[in-house]
Chains A and B, each alone.
Chain A
Amino acid sequence: MAHTDVGKRASVKTRRKRPFIIEFYSSDVGKKWAMALSGVLLLGYLLAHLLGNLKVFLGPENVDLYAEALRDLGGELVPRQSILWLMRGGLLLAYSIHVHAALSLWWRNRKARGSVGYQTRSTYLAATYASRFMAYTGATVFLFILFHLSDLTFGGANPDFVYGDVYANIVATFERVPVVILYIVAILALGMHVWHGTWSLFQSIGVNNAKFNKWRNKLAYGVTAFIVVGNISIPLAVQFGILKL
């Protein structure tokens, strides 16, 4: 009887599968999921950061004590500043994932578009400026973060910087008009980014329910308005002399 393949045991080399989370992240849907979740973390940080910094309107002692409380998180139980640095590490990790996923998806999408584009100027019917310029607003925010850290965290970009003297540092940096303009431009870019991101993340993780869908847009508007108005209010308050030394 002739040999057939039926019933013959396949000698398939068993390749060790990659850990599932890496397998998942290598797909586009997985990358979007990672972007959405890291985006939620970053958004949570933005809100907490703004809420804390609005204490500047309560007076110099209040905001300086808030900064000291952050450094002293955990009290006597842990080394000083350790919790703060743990949180910064988590933030950096979330940001790295967000940027890595964004860059690789951006590159994939460029290739998927093909070599020949449409000759007619594209007529966008649904896409908003916010959704189309996500990469550019994101890059703007990245450059702004570099400046922001050297301005108010490390002090390199602020000649009057005094470590721990939060209120004075804020007033000193926002008395410079070019810095105020830079902040406003960056915050508007951030607002566009956050607006599309807040709505979009529900689609990416698949949270879609006809009962709640109308709230996704309202939430996006609310979060954006709070972040933009709140963040811009501080430099403007310094410029108009509401906050002064």
Chain B
Amino acid sequence: MDVILSVWRQTGPNTEGGFVRYEANNIPDHASFLEMLDIVNEDLNDRDEEPIAFDHDCREGICGMCGVMINGQAHGPQLGTATCQLHMRKFKDGDTIRIEPWRADGFPVIRDLAVDRSAFDRIVEAGGFITVPTGSAPDANLIPVPKPAAEASMDAAACIGCGACVAACPNSAAQLFTSAKVAHLNLLPQGQAERYTRVVAMVDEMEQWFGACSNHGECEIACPKSISIDFIALMNRDYIRAKFRQGRLAGQR
């Protein structure tokens, strides 16, 4: 199949960018979206032109590296799918496809379609862990975890940190990412000791970089793992509780 691409090209973080038109011809319809970009890049290479820079790694939907805005939709038209798992059969022959990088003040463009998502690392560093003495692995099933809590925690832990939630949000808010990272620990017994310090630290860090939630719900639809905005409510509740809690008696802060 043949498609026409309109791709955002930008040589560096502080340079002006713009859209460049490419014709991608003879693309097999079982190619993934990233493989289509590979084919275009090989062609550019052959013509001694600079290939299009884009982030990618595992190409099986679990690493969170890939992700671009495809025709105004984060990760493209197929819901619950990362860009690497989107296939060209979702497009029609002769389609024009506009490809843009994630846009947010907290996600500056490095080059072309690659953005700097270090802000997410800062949020996780602030509290997305549990403090334990490391050594040999603990015995399995040593700590009983209620089944519903394990399930809910796993739903949150499905977050791959791709940044689609921020990219799709009209406010560039990172509430879905942060709430997923807060919730997958705060729902488990292992996360309880630092439950309230964690949520305050991570929310405060998040607000250094990203906007505030207006409950549009765009993030939930854009998320390749379909993580629910219910976790945002959980994060808000824990944050408010943490602020009102009498820390000494609760063994917190």
Q: Check B207 against A27 for contact (C-beta < 8 Å).
A: yes
Known: A109-B173, A118-B103. A31 touches B212 (CB 8 A): yes
Known: A123-B73, A127-B170. A109 touches B237 (CB 8 A): no
Q: Check A113 against B203 for contact (C-beta < 8 Å).
A: no
Known: A114-B172, A127-B170. A206 touches B233 (CB 8 A): yes
Q: Quick check: is A204 within 8 A (CB to CB) of the other chain?
A: yes
Complex Cα spacing A57 to B217, Å: 41
Annotate B58-82 by CB proximity to A: 1 below 8 A, 0 otherwise: 0000000000010111000000000
Interface residues on A, range: 35 or more
Q: Quick check: is A61 within 8 A (CB to CB) of the other chain?
A: no
Annotate B202-237 by CB proximity to A: 1 below 8 A, 0 otherwise: 011001011111111110111000000110111111
Complex Cα spacing A210 to B216, Å: 19
Complex Cα spacing A203 to B220, Å: 14
Query: Of A115, A117, A203, which contacts B233 at CB under 8 A?
Result: A203
Q: Would you give the shortest CB distance from B32 to chain A, in whole angstroms?
A: 21
For chain A, residues 28 to 56, give those with C-beta under 8 angstroms from any C-beta of chain B: 28-33
Annotate B160-200 by CB proximity to A: 1 below 8 A, 0 otherwise: 00000000001111000000000000000000000000000
What residue in chain A is nearest B18 (Cβ atoms)? Answer: A119
- Among A127, A196, A199, A213, residue most surrounded by chain B Cβ atoms (within 10 Å): A127
Known: A109-B173, A117-B103. A30 touches B243 (CB 8 A): yes
Q: Check B236 against A114 for contact (C-beta < 8 Å).
A: no
Q: Quick check: is B238 within 8 A (CB to CB) of the other chain?
A: yes
Residues of B within 8 A of A202 (CB): 233
Q: Quick check: is A11 within 8 A (CB to CB) of the other chain?
A: no
Complex Cα spacing A196 to B107, Å: 29
Known: A120-B71, A206-B238, A208-B230. A112 touches B103 (CB 8 A): no
Q: Would you give the shortest CB distance from A90 to chain B, in whole angstroms?
A: 22
Q: Check A20 against B243 for contact (C-beta < 8 Å).
A: yes
Q: Quick check: is B112 within 8 A (CB to CB) of the other chain?
A: no
Complex Cα spacing A115 to B16, Å: 12
For chain A, residues 125 to 157, give those with C-beta under 8 angstroms from any C-beta of chain B: 125-128, 131-132, 134
Q: Quick check: is B127 within 8 A (CB to CB) of the other chain?
A: no
Q: Quick check: is A24 within 8 A (CB to CB) of the other chain?
A: yes
- Among B69, B109, B218, residue most surrounded by chain A Cβ atoms (within 10 Å): B218
Complex Cα spacing A132 to B72, Å: 17
Q: Check A125 against B218 for contact (C-beta < 8 Å).
A: yes
Residues of B within 8 A of A29 (CB): 203, 207, 212, 235-236, 239-240
Q: Would you give the shortest CB distance from B8 to chain A, in whole angstroms?
A: 8
Q: Quick check: is A116 within 8 A (CB to CB) of the other chain?
A: yes
Q: Quick check: is B50 within 8 A (CB to CB) of the other chain?
A: no
Residues of B within 8 A of A196 (CB): 215
Q: Check B232 against A109 for contact (C-beta < 8 Å).
A: no
Query: Of A24, A109, A113, A127, which contacts B243 at CB under 8 A?
Result: A24
Complex Cα spacing A32 to B72, Å: 28
What residue in chain B is nearest A208 (Cβ atoms)? Answer: B233
For chain A, residues 196 to 245, give those with C-beta under 8 angstroms from any C-beta of chain B: 196, 199-200, 202-208, 210, 213
Residues of A within 8 A of B222 (CB): 125
Q: Check B172 against A32 for contact (C-beta < 8 Å).
A: no
Q: Check B171 against A112 for contact (C-beta < 8 Å).
A: yes
Q: Quick check: is B104 within 8 A (CB to CB) of the other chain?
A: yes
For chain A, residues 154 to 183, give those with C-beta under 8 angstroms from any C-beta of chain B: none
Q: Which residues on B are within 8 Å of A, measured CB to CB?
A: 8, 17, 19, 69, 71-73, 98, 100, 103-107, 109, 170-173, 203-204, 207, 209-218, 220-222, 229-230, 232-240, 243
Using A109-B211, A121-B72, A208-B233 as known contacts, list a sample of 8 further A-B pairs with CB atoms less than 8 Å apart, ordered by residue number in A: A29-B240, A112-B210, A119-B19, A119-B100, A125-B221, A131-B216, A203-B232, A207-B237
- What are 17 A-B contacts defined by CB distance under 8 Å? A29-B203, A32-B213, A109-B170, A112-B105, A112-B212, A114-B103, A117-B103, A119-B8, A119-B100, A120-B98, A123-B71, A128-B216, A132-B170, A196-B215, A203-B229, A204-B215, A208-B234
